[in-house]
Amino acid sequence: MATGRIVKVAGPLVVAEGLTDAKMYEVVRVGKERLVGEVIVLDGDLASIQVYEETAGLGPGDPVEGTGEPLSVELGPGIISSIYDGIQRPLEAIQARWGAYIRRGVEAAALDRTKKWGFTPKVKKGDAVSAGDILGIVQETTLVEHRIMVPPGLAGTIEEIRAGEFTVEETIGILKDAQGKRHELKMMQRWPVRRARPYTEKLPSTELLTTGQRIVDTLFPLAKGGTACVPGPFGSGKTVIQHQLAKWADAQVIVFVGCGERGNEMTDVLMEFPELEDPKTGEPLMKRTVLIANTSNMPVAAREASVYTGITIAEYFRDMGYSVALMADSTSRWAEAMREISGRLEEMPGEEGYPAYLGSRIADFYARAGRVICLGSPRREGSLSAIGAVSPPGGDLSEPVTQNTLRLVKVFWGLDANLAYRRHFPAINWLTSYSLYNDDLIPYFEKHVGAEWNLLREEFMRLLQIEAELEEIVRLVGVEALSPSDRLKLEVARSIREDYLMQSAFDDVDTYSSLSKQLKMMQLIWRFYELGQRAIEQGVAIQKIIELPVRERIAKAKFIPENQFEQSFREIDRQIQGEFESLLAGGAYAARVH
Amino acid sequence: MQREYTSIAEISGPIMVVEGVSGVTFEELVEIELSGGEIRRGRVLEINRDRAVVQLFEAAQGLNLRQSRVRFLGKVMELGVSEDMLGRVFDGAGRPIDGGPPIIPEKRLPISGEPLNPYSRDYPNEFIQTGISVIDGLNTLVRGQKLPIFSGSGLPHNKLAAQVARQAKVLGTGEEFAVVFGAMGITFEEANFFITDLRKTGALERSVMFINLADDPVIERITTPRLVLTCAEYLAFERDLHVLVILTDITNYAEALREVSAARKEIPGRRGYPGYMYTDLSTIYERAGRIKGKKGSITQMPILTMPQDDKTHPIPDLTGYITEGQLFLSRELHRKGIYPPFDVLPCLSRLKDKGIGPGKTREDHAGVLNQLYAAYARGIDVREMAAILGEAALSKTDRLYWKFADEFERRFIQQGEYEDRTIIQTLTIGWELLSMLPRGELKRVRDEFIEKYLPKRAEEPVVA
Ligand SMILES: Nc1ncnc2c1ncn2[C@@H]1O[C@H](COP(=O)(O)OP(=O)(O)OP(=O)(O)O)[C@@H](O)[C@H]1O
Ligand SMILES: Nc1ncnc2c1ncn2[C@@H]1O[C@H](COP(=O)(O)OP(=O)(O)O)[C@@H](O)[C@H]1O
Ligand SMILES: [Mg+2]
Ligand SMILES: [Mg+2]
């Protein structure tokens, strides 16, 4: 491999000459410390390289060496529960070797080379296999069975397959291809991060990704394999909602990419997830989670790569037939990293200085989500749901990253500073947000929760719309000018907002609501509304209805644990009926009161 | 290899281009010797073959294309640190200005710092009692947090920061904070206010000050916060101190950054600030925190004045995206004579949730703070509505909320500059205020806490 020489250093960008056989996106080693870089422009004899580490100390004349390989990730047992930097260096191993600060030039393999994994074959000698076929399994964690697959591009017959304890580099079998060439099979494969991993066929997304977040599941649901974005100004709750999804979404594998955000937020996940239990299995959530961390003070070029590193790992688990959810917090930092590199390359800037290819990069990223029939046998379905936070400057959604994202994703959870200011969380604006999966998921809800879900959902949306219109009137003439029926609508809409949509991520009980709890909570609110309207028709004073003691119980229903909910729900429901009955019986009629 | 040159090709503002150099590396420290022997410093911003672009740390005044000698020092900029820095005052470039002896460094540290491995961080969760109700009660500060004050010109942010510096303590430990103070482009009076205040309370002995005044070189301001944080890291992680870093005014820092960017003719981002300002600011703010296995910590309280009180301006905006919350000051409350004039609604401490509750503050804390927030927000809505529609259009409950908002400002937000409230006092005021509302409105607090802490009244409140 030819060795080149640096001619220019400008921040994360290095230009080298003499790298005669360099390829685009090839990984190179820069300087005496052999920093990792990637060729991003080739122009005559000059190669522009983005360097994934601090470039201080590099200068003209320093060597640059090609590796012949594109930027790739290592895929195999040992990924789950790890925390990696943007180019898949394991941060735990780095701390063990180099201490608390990330030095330049540190090197550590993504997958531990010494750890042995128990491998159980699922094929036998003589089997014909092709790319994606499951060769065998490794119980990687209590939650994830790692399925070792024939790497894309390979096919033939199994000449040998072994059971037992192996490291990721040891040979677990031999495959003979059609040309008679023998290939050693290992548990580890590599894949270039900028290339989507292949699958057999894409399928429509018709299954709910249950999140346990009421406003999400009820009003703006996400389908497995779907795409969503969460734009919002600082402090509006982007990170918390993504953490909530990482905790409670019913995906089998979670990949969380901390892209250019706070160090403490990654630490938070690292410390909290091992303590939290998966609601289904009771196992620690960390056992299905992979973290990619390039915090805001880490090198900017690696931030650009981190999103690709994350989605490639996510695709790999999708290929095993799992439902995978990836969260990227925040895609704006990724776009800004692109902008910074593009600026250093002196490319022609597009809107707000972003490169002209911003839109296509964002599109390529979200296109890697989806529900698919995986490559290989046995036949299996996998899904990759992608959720990206967007951090628009000044909270203004007209900026390029938000706009390009909105063109692609199907769910928009718009966060609203005003809701956040009044501590209404999740601060998802119910009037502007949308989910394009709503219609596709109607049959799903009908089958798994009941037809009433879809009806109540529509009624809730309708009341919230009406509320917005009524609020306009109230602002002009005051609340006393409304009819009793409209006042009840306002009250119930408020109850929907405060008692149902508001959900504290930090309350042990409220943090997660099952679909059946969600349905029952909706039923309680709706029961109150219907009986209320009926009482008004019979002349009961609105004030009496507003003051019914049961409203406090409805409001606090969210704090009732799942295992007690069934019973409490029946009690509250009975109390609603009872209180309305005594209102009518007690003669609390408007006419008599006035 | 030749390391000294007289080949300055160009000086423009804070940027200098030197030609014909060899062996120069990125970020390398540069010394420029003026004809009179005076030394200025800078660093390599870009190196292209034999042409080095150098950013000056100090004023360009007196530099000369032919006579000034440029030396490349083969290392990045460092700060000599020692415990003897406590009690001392330095200029924005790290030179003592208090008449004391030079510091004999125990070691020299690169001022840009290195990114802390997220795996090595320890999550901040120790409650700091500042004695200020809006902070302790609603936007709790914890040890290792970065919590800026978003202010405006003429608002009492300095008074507030000084009060925090004076009163901050971790409950039960009695440990006091060491203060590392960085001034960037503030006036002599402002700087003097801090020095005097720290001296008065005896805190100067455990303080280090780096001061770049309004009439000091603008360009020095880019280094000042990095000196501050290098010193703070040394004290926190090598000398086990709990350090409170106060940086004021970040706006002046950002303007210096813009000046360098403009001189380099970079493509400007929003309002002329460079596109990399987010990353640049994060290399300052992210140097707060705790490290597993280390005793000390760095808590940051940067102060910035929002140009035209505009919180969407890139300086507060990018800051808010990096820091762990923010404290807003309000011109309106200031005009009403309320100190500290917190604009409570947009204030936020992102780390509060793990710093409060049983064993830290009190079991009811989270509920009380959410309820106070919700009630105050509604009270403000009502007050605005009443201004349009008149009081008659309000419902009974709305009127209670209105009264609540007024009382909240008068009793909870407002306090004395030397009033040091315990967290229990703060929560008690909170409950007293909540007792103004019908009990059914207190949806954010658990019933058991209402039973236990809500002041008992003979009957439900009514408005006359
Ligand atoms: N995300 C949002 N989506 C739609 N409307 C919103 C949103 N946030 C705030 N609003 C509007 O702003 C108004 C004020 O917010 P909200 O009602 O939550 O506060 P509140 O005044 O405490 O409630 P209430 O008016 O019932 O007392 C709402 O009534 C609603 O119409
Ligand atoms: N669902 C929620 N429940 C309770 N508090 C929340 C919730 N979502 C957000 N918050 C509060 O808002 C703060 C900011 O949220 P965060 O996700 O960090 O915002 P962003 O990422 O948009 O800047 C959090 O620290 C927390 O106090
Ligand atoms: Mg965030
Ligand atoms: Mg309202």
Sequence-distant (≥ 6) Cβ neighbours of residue B26 within 8 angstroms? A9, A10, A11, A55, A56, A57, A58, A59, B44, B46, B47
Atom 24, ligand 2: residue with shortest CA distance: B350
**A479: chain B residues, CB-CB within 8 Å:** 393-395, 398
Here the ipTM equals 0.92
Residue of B279, B292, B297 best to disrupt the A interface, most CBs of A under 10 A:
B279
Least confident of A213-217, A274-278, A387-391, B298-302: A274-278
Contacts B353 to A, Cβ<8 Å: 506
Distance separating alpha carbons of residues B287 and A263, to the nearest angstrom: 10
| Cα separation, B194 vs B244, whole angstroms | 14
User: Is the CB of B326 inside 8 Å of chain A's CB atoms?
Assistant: yes
Does residue B462 register a pLDDT over 80?
Answer: no
In this predicted structure, the answer to whether residue A593 has a pLDDT above a threshold of 70 is: no
Phi, psi (rounded to 5 degrees) for B394: -90, 145
* Beta-ladder partners of B212: B184
What integer pLDDT is reported at residue B459 of this predicted model? 60
Residue A391 C-alpha, separation from nearest chain B C-alpha, in angstroms: 8
Q: B381: CA distance to ligand 4 center in Å? A: 7
B313/B226 Cα distance (integer angstroms): 23
The average confidence (pLDDT) of chain A is: 94
Residue A311: in which H helix or E strand, if any?
Answer: helix A300-319
Listed residue (A418, A499, A485) closest to A236, CA to CA: A418
Question: In the predicted model, what is the mean pLDDT of residues A457-468?
Answer: 98
Pairing of strands B8-12, B15-19: antiparallel
Range A176-196 average pLDDT: 96
A561 touches chain B (CB under 8 A): no
* Chain A environment of B120 (Cβ under 8 Å): 95, 99-101
DSSP string, A139-198: E-SSS-EEEEEPPTT-EEEEEEE--EEE-TTSEEEEEE-TTS-EEEEES-EEEETTSPPP
A312-316, B76-80, B265-269, B285-289: range with lowest mean pLDDT: B265-269
Q: What is the average pLDDT across A5-25? A: 93
In this prediction, residues A461-482 reach a mean pLDDT of 92
Enumerate residues 227 to 286 of chain B having a beta carbon within 8 A of any beta carbon in chain A.
237, 266-270, 275-276, 278-279, 282-283, 286
Identify the burial level of B358 via C-beta atoms within 10 angstroms of its C-beta, where 0-12 means exposed, 13-18 middle and 19 or more buried.
Answer: exposed
pLDDT at residue A424 tops 70: yes
d(CA A288, CA A207): 20
Distance CA A6, CA B233 (A): 34
For a mutational test of ligand 1's pocket, the pick from B381, B399, B437, i.e. the residue with the most ligand atoms closer than 8 A to its C-beta, is: B381
The phi, psi pair for B41, rounded to 5°, reads: -125, 160
**φ, ψ dihedrals at B304, nearest 5°:** -140, 145
Contacts of B388 in chain A (CB under 8 A): 475
Q: Please indicate whether, in this complex, the C-beta atoms of A264 and B289 are within 8 angstroms of each other.
A: yes
> Could you give the CA distance from residue A386 to residue A433 in angstroms, rounded to a whole number?
17
Q: What is the pLDDT of residue A162?
A: 96
Measured CA to CA, the distance from residue A194 to residue A298 in angstroms comes to 21
Q: Residue B266 has what pLDDT?
A: 85
Are B278 and A477 in contact (CB < 8 Å)?
Answer: no
Distance separating alpha carbons of residues A32 and B87, to the nearest angstrom:
42
| Alpha carbons B354 and B348: distance in angstroms, whole number | 14
* pLDDT score of A592: 43
A-chain residues near B282 (CB < 8 A): 260, 295-297
- Which protein residue has the closest C-alpha to ligand 1 atom 11? A468
- CA distances in angstroms from B459 to A7, A15, B29, B443, listed in the order given: 82, 78, 73, 19
Of all protein residues, whose CA lies closest to atom 19 belonging to ligand 1? B378
Interface test with B, best of A262, A390, A504, A568 (most B CBs within 10 A): A262
Q: What are φ and ψ of residue A299, in 5° steps?
A: -55, 140
User: pLDDT: is A412 or A299 the higher one?
Assistant: A412
Asked if the Cβ–Cβ distance from A57 to B370 is below 8 Å, we say no
Contact A381, A371 (CB under 8 A): yes
CB distance B446–A333 less than 8 Å? no
Q: In what order do the strands lie in the sheet with A145-149?
A: A145-149, A134-139, A117-121, A164-166
Residue pointed to by tokens 């390398």:
B28
Residues 5-44 of A with CB under 8 A from B: 7-11, 15
Is the CB of residue B18 less than 8 Å from the CB of residue B5?
yes
Please give the average per-residue pLDDT across A141-167, as a whole number.
96
Token readout for A351 is 């809107």
Question: Rounded to the nearest 5°, which phi and psi values hold at B419?
Answer: -90, 120
Question: Do A436 and A411 touch, CB atoms closer than 8 A?
Answer: yes
> pLDDT by residue (tens digit) across B205-223?
999 999 999 999 888 899 9
Distance CA A244, CA A223 (A): 16
Instruction: Provide the edge-to-edge strand list for the sheet that holds A128-130.
Output: A128-130, A155-161, A171-176, A182-186
- B62 burial via Cβ count (<10 Å: 0-12, 13-18, 19+): middle
Using alpha carbons, list the distances in angstroms from residue B188 to A9, A10, B164, B261, B390: 40, 37, 21, 27, 48
Whole-angstrom CA distances from B191 to A169, A248, B183, B311 are: 62, 50, 7, 25
**What is the pLDDT, as a whole number, of residue B421?**
97
What does the DSSP assignment read for B9-69? EEEETTEEEEES--S--TT-EEEEE-TTS-EEEEEEEEEETTEEEEEESS--TT--TTT-E
- Is A60 at the interface with chain B, CB within 8 A? yes
Integer CA distances (angstroms), B17 to B8, B45, B73, in order = 6, 10, 16
Bridge partners, residue A228, by sequence: A387, A411
Ligand 2, atom 8, residue with closest C-alpha:
A237
Residue A221 above 60 pLDDT?
A: yes
Task: Find where tokens 């280090």 sit.
Answer: B208
pLDDT at res. A478: 82
The Cα B263–Cα B260 span in angstroms is 5
Q: Write the burial class of residue B424 (CB in 10 Å: 0-12 exposed, 13-18 middle, 19+ buried).
A: exposed
pLDDT of residue B1: 55
For residue A467, name the pLDDT band (cuts at 50, 70, 90). Answer: very high
Look at residue A591 and tell me whether its pLDDT is greater than 50.
no
Q: Do B120 and A99 touch (CB under 8 A)?
A: yes
Q: Which residues contact B124 (CB under 8 A, 6 or more apart)?
A: A264, B142, B143, B144, B145, B289, B290, B297, B299, B324, B351, B354, B355
Q: What is the dihedral of CA A20, A25, A31, A34, to 10 degrees?
A: -120
Average pLDDT over residues B407-424: 97
pTM of the model: 0.93
CA of A498 from ligand 1 middle (Å) equals 10
Among A275-289, B136-150, B414-428, the minimum mean pLDDT is found in A275-289
Q: Does residue B2 have a pLDDT over 70?
A: no
Q: Are B20 and B31 in contact (CB under 8 A)?
A: no
Who wins on pLDDT, A591 or B261?
A: B261
Q: What is the DSSP string of A243-278?
A: HHHHHHS--SEEEEEEES--HHHHHHHHHHTTTSBP
Tell me if A488 sits within 8 A of A542, measured CB to CB: yes
CB contact residues (below 8 A), chain A span 497-516, against chain B: 498-499, 504, 506
Q: Residues for chain A: how many in total?
A: 594
Q: Is residue B78 within a helix (H) or strand (E), and if so which, with residue range?
A: strand B78-81
Q: Report the DSSP beta bridge partners of residue A349.
A: A355
- pLDDT of B267 > 90? The answer is no
Q: How many CB atoms lie within 10 A of CB A43?
A: 9
Q: Which residues lie below 8 Å from residue A534, measured CB to CB, with a gap of 6+?
A: A580
